[in-house]
Structure 1
Amino acid sequence: MFTPSQHDVRRFFCETYRKSVDNAILTPLEAIARDWIVQHPEYAPDFENVEDALAQDYSVEAGRINPFLHLSMHLSIAEQISIDQPPGIRAAFQNLARRLDSEHEAHHQIMECLGQMIWNSQRNGVPPDGAAYIECINRAAS
């Protein structure tokens, strides 16, 4: 399993942004990341300089949204949906996207559920509960 560091993630998005601006060839993962970067133009300044990105503090105390975390969650959710893992996420996503009339907004709602599942797992010292995650998404879709 690949576990990138914070700097690896930031370099990945900055490099993807640079390649996108330069119309360079992207890997399949970079192409997916580019699609999310394009949907979040407000983050473009965060991707323009890799050294600045590596030094930036996106802590809650700093009061800034972490664009690298946000886009990483989009990538993670897109992958989950593509392979329907945990089982049922694809259908739950489709229902939520239909209700919200926006796949992008559905991703943002799913992020809330994903964050809640991870928080509960870490807080209670138990594995992530995929069924509770899907139930949270289904509640948002109803």
Structure 2
Amino acid sequence: MFGHDRDGMRRYYLQCWKKFQQKQPLDALGQQVAQVIAEHPEYHKLLEQTDAALQRDYLPENGETNPFLHMGLHLGIREQAATNRPVGISEIYRQLVIQYGTLDAEHRMMDCLAESIWLAQRNQTAPDEAAYLDCLKKASN
């Protein structure tokens, strides 16, 4: 959506959340972003601190989770399930949602998506859809 523009992406999240709270109209993507933020109350305080939210680095080696990445993975999984890309993900998603509920299902899927993206970036290739689907099938067990 924003390429490598971290600040632009973060500002968009902050803008969507502010509009949502003020009951202002949002476009379709903005509605999706606001919905994911609403489902994560643990991030609300951070999103109210604009400067901190924009500037902070989240380092996995310090055990930190990047809330923007986390919420972005939710959005990515929802888009994949809605478009069934890769083919077969909609059924896996549906089964996981029935079994665990939407948020928990998506949390189970996130590691697979993040790993698929990371491997594709590291190897400078397209994501391996078959490996991704295999990972998701294992997550459903």
On whether the aligned pair clears a TM of 0.5, the verdict is: yes
The residue type equivalent to 1:64 in the other structure is E
Q: CA deviation at 1:131?
A: 1.3
Distance 1:4 1:79, change over 3 A: farther
Alignment gaps of 5+ in structure 1: none
Q: Please identify, of 123-132 and 82-91, the stretch whose mean Cα deviation from structure 2 is larger.
A: 123-132
**Cα RMSD (Å):** 1.7
Which segment is superposed worse, 67-76 or 44-53? 44-53
Q: Is the 8 A contact 2:16 2:34 kept in 1?
A: yes
- AA paired with 1:24? Q
- Cα distance in 2 between the residues matched to 1:62 and 1:2: 26
Could you tell me which amino acid in structure 1 is paired with residue 84 of structure 2?
D
Change (3 A) 1:86 1:116: same
Q: Is the 8 A contact 2:112 2:132 kept in 1?
A: yes
* 2:20 pairs with 1:20: yes
| Stretches (4+) displaced over 4 A | none
The residue type equivalent to 2:10 in the other structure is R
Distance in 2 between the 1:13 and 1:4 partners?
15
Find the residue that maps to 1:127 and give its secondary structure. coil
Q: Relative contact order (C-alpha < 8 Å, sep 6+): which is higher?
A: 1
- 8 A Cα contact 1:84 1:90, kept in partner: yes
The equivalent of 2:131 in structure 1 is: 132
Partner of 2:105: 106
- Matched residue SS, 1:58: coil
Partner of 1:115: 114
How many pairs does the alignment contain? 141
CA–CA distance in 2 between the matches of 1:17 and 1:87?
32
Residue 49 of structure 1 corresponds to: 49
Structure 1-normalised TM-score?
0.89
1:67-106 equivalences in 2 (<5 Å)? 67-100=67-100, 102-106=101-105
Note if contact 1:16-1:33 (Cα within 8 Å) is conserved in structure 2. yes
Instruction: Note the C-alpha offset of 1:19.
Output: 0.7
Q: Given that residues 2 and 9 in structure 2 are in contact (C-alpha distance below 8 angstroms), is that contact kept between their aligned partners in structure 1? A: no
1:62 Cα deviation after fit: 4.3
Runs of at least 5 residues in structure 2 that lack an aligned partner in the other structure: none
Structure 1 residue 2: deviation in Å?
5.2
For normalisation by structure 2, the TM-score amounts to 0.90
Sequence identity (%): 35
